[in-house]
Amino acid sequence: MQETLAPTTEASSARGFVPILALTLSAFAIGTAEFVIAGLLPDIARDLRVSIPAAGQLVTAYAVGVVVGAPLTAILTSRLPRKRVLLLMLGIFIAGNLCSTLAPGYALLMIARVLAAFAHGSLFGVGAVVATELVPPSRRASAVALMFTGLTVANLAGVPLGTLLGQVYGWRSTFLAISALGIVTFIAVAALIPNLKSMGAIDLRREFAVARRPDVLLALSTTVLGWGCVFALFTYIVPILEQVSGYDPRAVTVILFIIGVGLTVGINLGGRLADRGVMRTLIFMLAVLAALSVLFALASQNWLTAVPVIFLWGMAAFGTIPSLQTRVLDSASDAPNIASSLNVGAFNLGNAGGALIGGLVIDWGFGLTAVPLAAAAVALAGLAVALHGRRRDNQRRELPAR
């Protein structure tokens, strides 16, 4: 009897993972749309006749759109079936990127980016919940990991290819391709994702209560600062590689692919280390990130040293993600869905703040070489908050002994 049931269970589990590939595709599309702007920054700035820092604020606008849109869309769609929510958010995502393609000027492009960003939080939040419901309980973590693989593949392939497409055919062609990818994803979700129940009304009082907890605020602050460091530098990586390191734009596309490899290696390494100790890994990664940011300020001035250092920096940058995510979930273990939603906002607040800080450094006349140093300062601030959090953890463990 056991021999006949086991294959059936395994086959059922395997079939459960097939629909998740549609969610993986959605993560790939969202990740490409979010991160490719860094590769297109010089082209957009030239075409729209704005400065590099002004073009960098398109990253800030997108991040703010995610921070505002995630809770808003979650509240407005809480009573809808989850598949319908996914399709609605994909519709908004497609519309936003089509508007980006057609935007005649800087202001309208920024509005279009914000529109696309409104779909980001719900697609990730609802998508993660759907992924866990499509497989047996013992495979839930694997299901979520499979979905988020799309985000790392976006940095490995989507961003370099999107950048190359923009360089050859103009930056608008990249947003047109992302729109087409969104349509393919819409069809995949409609065909593969089964109908699931609604998420139920959100208890706002409970949500705000979780957000007010000191340990949750500390964990979210660490995410904001850790990711703020990443985007303070990553937003302006293409101008730095072109204008400081002296690389040709086509060579930069290859370097973005190399960075993508570093990001993919880093997130997997960070996950394995975090399984052995979340806070120890988080503190280590933030310290390494700060050190590599300082080192890149020097290494970026030589084309031979720039690439290996930025590869290692990319590993450390995405190596922080598992620890940052787990830290927030641990701090609000009684409300994991709310905590995860809040952390999506924290990551994107870091995106916005980091892009803003890097732009201000350039605007104030310090130049592109000072951007990595500003990123290092933000990482050190995150490290200080993480150390304070660990000290609070230690004090709490010692309380029963007193």
Question: pLDDT tens digits for 155-174?
Answer: 778 888 998 999 899 999 99
Asked if 232 contacts 374 with a C-beta cutoff of 8 angstroms, the reply is yes
pLDDT category at 4 given cuts 50, 70, 90 is very low
Q: Which amino acid is present at 219?
A: A
pLDDT at position 272, please? 77
On whether both 116 and 186 belong to a single domain, the answer is yes
Nearest-angstrom CA–CA distance, 302 and 325? 35
Query: Which regions of 256-307 does DSSP assign to beta strands (E)?
Result: none
Ramachandran class of 246: left when φ > 0, alpha when ψ lies in -120 to 50, beta otherwise: left
Residue ending a domain, choose from 178, 202, 226: 202
- Cβ contacts of residue 321 below 8 Å, gap of 6+? 267, 270
CA distance 394 to 391: 5
- Give pLDDT, residue 355: 87
Q: Is residue 138 part of a domain?
A: yes
Same domain, 383 and 361: yes
Kindly state the tokens that stand for 314: 């990319």
Task: Give me the mean pLDDT over the 240-259 stretch.
Answer: 90
- The domain boundary residue, chosen from 174, 202, 230: 202
Out of 33-37, 79-83, 252-256, 360-364, least confident range: 79-83
What 8-state DSSP symbol labels residue 235?
T
* Assigned token pair, 319: 């190596």
SS3 148: helix
Separation of CA 226 from chain center: 12
| More confident position, 131 or 37 | 37
For 287-292, what is the mean pLDDT? 97
Do 246 and 377 lie in one domain? The reply is yes
Categorize the per-residue pLDDT at 305 as very low, low, confident or very high, splitting at 50, 70 and 90. Answer: very high
Please report whether residue 400 resides in a domain. Answer: no
Please tell me the least confidently modeled range out of 39-43, 138-142, 249-253, 254-258: 138-142
The total number of structural domains that make up the chain: 2
What pLDDT is recorded for position 399?
62
Q: How confident is the model at residue 225 (pLDDT cuts 50, 70, 90)?
A: very high
Q: Are residues 183 and 43 in the same domain?
A: yes
Using CA atoms, how far apart are residues 200 and 198, in angstroms rounded to an integer? 6
- Domain with 145, as residue range(s), is 1-202
pLDDT mean over 170-185: 96
- Specify whether 139 is located in the same domain as 217: no
Alpha-carbon distance of 121 to 314, in angstroms, equals 23
Q: Which of 226-235, 255-264, 369-378 has the highest mean pLDDT?
A: 369-378
Are residues 215 and 131 located together in one domain of the fold? no
Query: Which residue among 202, 218, 253 closes a domain?
Result: 202
Residue 196 and residue 130 share a domain: yes
pLDDT higher than 60, residue 401: no
Residue 196 in domain: yes
What confidence score (pLDDT) does residue 400 get?
57
Domain membership of residue 221 (yes or no) is yes
Q: Is the pLDDT of residue 3 over 50?
A: no
Distance separating the N- and C-terminal Cα atoms of the chain? 56
Do 312 and 240 lie in one domain? The reply is: yes
* Contact status, residue 45 vs residue 51, Cβ threshold 8 Å: yes
Q: How far apart are CA 146 and CA 376, in angstroms?
A: 31
Q: Which of 6-15, 41-50, 57-66, 306-315 has the highest mean pLDDT?
A: 306-315
- Under 8 Å CB-to-CB from 84, ≥6 apart: which residues? none
Same domain, 26 and 143: yes
Of 344 and 13, more confident: 344
Q: Residue 202 has what pLDDT?
A: 58
Decide if pLDDT at 146 tops 80: no
Q: Is 50 left (phi over 0), alpha (psi -120 to 50) or beta?
A: beta
For residue 5, what pLDDT band results from cuts at 50, 70 and 90?
very low
What 3 state SS string does 296-345 have? HHHHCCCHHHHHHHHHHHHHHHHHCHHHHHHHHHHHCCCCHHHHHHHHHH
Mean pLDDT on 210-230: 89
Checking if the pLDDT of 196 tops 80, the result is no
pLDDT tier, 2 (very low <50, low <70, confident <90, very high otherwise): very low
- Residue 198 pairs with which residues in a beta bridge? 81
Most confident of 125-134, 321-330, 343-352, 372-381: 372-381
Structural domain includes residue 399: no
229 Cα distance to chain centroid: 13
Position 112 pLDDT exceeds 80? yes
Contact call for residues 318 and 264 (beta carbons, < 8 A): yes
- Cβ distance 81 to 198 under 8 Å? yes
Q: Give the pLDDT confidence score for residue 138 in this predicted structure.
A: 58
Q: What is the pLDDT of residue 77?
A: 78
Q: How far is CA 371 from CA 361, 364, 387, in A?
A: 6, 11, 25
Asked if 201 and 274 touch (Cβ cutoff 8 Å), the reply is: no
Domain of 182, CATH number, reads 1.20.1250.20
Nearest to 233 by CA among 276, 292, 160: 292
> Would you say residue 7 has pLDDT above 90?
no
